[in-house]
Chains A and B, each alone.
Chain A
């Protein structure tokens, strides 16, 4: 089924009777060439790019619940490539370029909206740090603009410029950053993978690995044993739990991050605004709700809900930078479980078990990485060699002393 303007008009005129489900719902086969565990954004993107490279391979995605039930369906949908370090910036810029062509490529509306991401600064030192970051971005082929206070005022006059503690002195703007309809990404990749023959198997929890003489043979699931030549794990916040079944300890802790949405309002916020000093970020959805978030709850958690003190803290951050938000009613809040890595950067690598591969450690910035993560992981699975932009994401970088510590807070995952 191909989507087009013509198709929409035709369906409108014929009572919308021609739309079909976006993917099949197959039962698992006895074995596959590739199994991807986790039907989130990263798992589905991996399957999509794998299938695109190898039309002939037998590929399955195993998801314990329904496709997109995890962090892909819970995040605040911000995409950007304003990273600093050489191990990171080219990867995230690669992802941004993939976002820019994505809807045409998979013929699905993911509502990619490059409305701009503005990071506020409050001191001269922070301005200098942002100038350096902006230069690093330009060097990697991304876009960046440093705004002064007047420049920010022209974009967002409603901000609290004269806050006694954090007066707004300017901001780093990436105009190509923005937001994406997160569910649309999962569905688009799922549909694209399904069309290329990938079996998307829902309600199929992986409960163990079958490993013999250091080699993976397949996985035990709630729907029986399934054999596989290669298995890629992309289970986000469940990484610790799943890899424990393969006997691995990882540089990862699972933490809960909350998000919030208000009632629908008329357009008030031009793009994404982040207030790093108070840790608060906000954008407005196409339905008009203000979507925002802040800090982690800060301790290990597998509860997909948060606690009240963080709600209060995020609301305070919002009020400090954007007092008018106090007039909006909060409709909903929820939590997602993230695998916080020890340097705040992801892992895309083989494991010491032959045929078992890991995609993890996305902390709370992994949504923007979805296309590049899928692409790089598919590359690794297919060729047994890392994609150029993901060479730094090795699992042994901690032991080798080659951490990618973007925030400079070391091995303290709850601070990343």
Chain B
């Protein structure tokens, strides 16, 4: 698989390590009320779709950036890739 890195162009997926569902970016607040149950869900439960999936890939053997890669889990087709930082900033309502 080739991952279209937004800065570096097409890179071999072998240069990356995989973390999983991109929703892991949205880490809950550990100090909030009810954090224990929310964290159990966050750490252990997953959507596990057959089809389009947004996931985190770490360019470990490259520029060490984290990417959010959108990929089809049935065909292995890679639809898009963006810097996880941009996705996270957007989530916080910041300028990306």
Contacts and interface: CB of A to CB of B under 8 A. Distances in A.
Given A253-B20, A309-B14, A399-B40, A302 B46 contact: no
A299 B55 contact: yes
Interface in B35-49: 37, 40-41, 43-49
A254 B20 CA distance: 11
A25 interface: no
A250 B48 contact: yes
Contact of A399 (B20, B37, B71): B37
Nearest to A398: B44
B46 A251 contact: yes
A383 B86 CA distance: 52
Contacts of A413: 20
Interface residues of A, number: 24
Contacts of B44: 251, 342, 398-399, 411
Interface stretch (B25-33, B73-81, B88-96): B73-81
Contacts of A240: 46-50
Nearest to A248: B45
| Chain A binding surface, main DSSP class | mixed
Nearest to B17: A298
A86 to B, nearest CB: 21
A252 B49 CA distance: 11
B81 to A, nearest CB: 13
A411 B73 CA distance: 20
Nearest to B74: A302
A240 to B, nearest CB: 3
Contact of B55 (A250, A251, A254, A300): A300
Nearest to A312: B14
A414 interface: yes
Contacts of A342: 43-44
A253 B19 CA distance: 11
A301 B48 contact: no
A411 B18 contact: no
B76 A249 contact: no
Contacts of A251: 44-46
B1 A300 contact: no
Contacts of B46: 240, 249-253
Contact of B75 (A250, A303, A411): A303
Given A300-B55, A300-B73, A307-B76, A252 B20 contact: no
A411 B42 CA distance: 10
B48 A252 contact: yes
A298 B14 CA distance: 11
Contact of A307 (B1, B49, B71): B1
Contacts of B49: 240-241, 244
Interface in B1-21: 1, 13-14, 18, 20
A309 B12 CA distance: 10
A300 B53 contact: yes
Contacts of B75: 303
Given A399-B37, A414-B20, A301 B73 contact: yes
Nearest to B36: A399
A301 B76 contact: yes
A185 to B, nearest CB: 27
A399 B45 CA distance: 10
Nearest to A343: B44
B74 A249 contact: no
Contacts of A309: 13-14
Interface string B57-73: 00000000000000101
Contacts of A298: 18
A151 B48 CA distance: 45
B52 to A, nearest CB: 11
A241 to B, nearest CB: 5
Contacts of A244: 47-49
A414 B74 CA distance: 17
B31 to A, nearest CB: 19
Contacts of A249: 41, 45-47
Interface in A228-248: 239-241, 244
Contacts of B47: 240, 244, 249
22 contacts: A239-B48, A240-B46, A241-B49, A244-B47, A249-B46, A250-B46, A251-B45, A252-B48, A253-B20, A253-B46, A253-B48, A299-B18, A299-B55, A299-B71, A300-B73, A302-B73, A307-B76, A398-B43, A398-B44, A399-B40, A411-B43, A413-B20
Given A241-B50, A244-B48, 8 more contacts: A249-B45, A253-B48, A254-B50, A300-B53, A303-B74, A307-B1, A309-B14, A398-B43
